[in-house]
Amino acid sequence: MKEIENRADITKLVNLFYARIRKNELLGPIFNQHIAENQWPAHLEKLTDFWETNLFGIPKFKGNLSMVHINVDKNLNHTVEQKHFGEWLNLWFTTIDSLFVGELANNAKEAARRMAHGQFMMMFRHRG
């Protein structure tokens, strides 16, 4: 086990995590419905940018995370629930724990916890 040290480590984490997401019984259908097979490589790069920005403070991520989640919830007739974010967090934590230890690993968990709560509340407030 090692610490998260660079973009290559984040790439490894993001790729393994989303491979698990795509196979997950609860989350896989949502992600696979909204992201076409040929869009995954670019999406994984964007997610790597997101986590590189969050963990290392390198301003690479460009996008509106909230609007993406609001639109996904809308496309699913407002059926995204806390259990979806709970499952997402559980997979994120177990993926991190399978690869990394240390301060940045813990920071990635805490950032994900805050993000999951914030995105769910944002979606909830935008339901009509």
pLDDT(92) > 90: yes
Other C-beta atoms within 10 Å of 30: how many?
19
Domains of the chain: 7-125 (1.10.490.10)
Question: What is the residue-wise DSSP string for 74-109?
Answer: HHTTT---HHHHHHHHHHHHHHHHHHB-SHHHHHHH
Closest by CA to 124, choosing from 84, 77, 70, 47, is 70
CA distance 105 to 84: 22
Share of the chain above pLDDT 90, in %: 91
pLDDT(128) > 80: no
The mean of the pLDDT values for the chain is 95
CA distance 37 to 14: 16
CA atoms within 13 A on the CB side of 50: 15
Q: Tell me 63's DSSP state.
A: S
> What digits encode the pLDDT tens for the residues 19-56?
999 999 999 999 999 999 999 999 999 999 999 999 99
Q: Which is higher by pLDDT, 65 or 93? A: 93
Q: Between 40-56 and 103-125, two packed helices, what is the crossing angle to 10 degrees?
A: 110
pLDDT number for residue 117: 95
Cβ contact 70:113 at 8 Å: no
CA distance 93 to 110: 10
pLDDT number for residue 62: 87
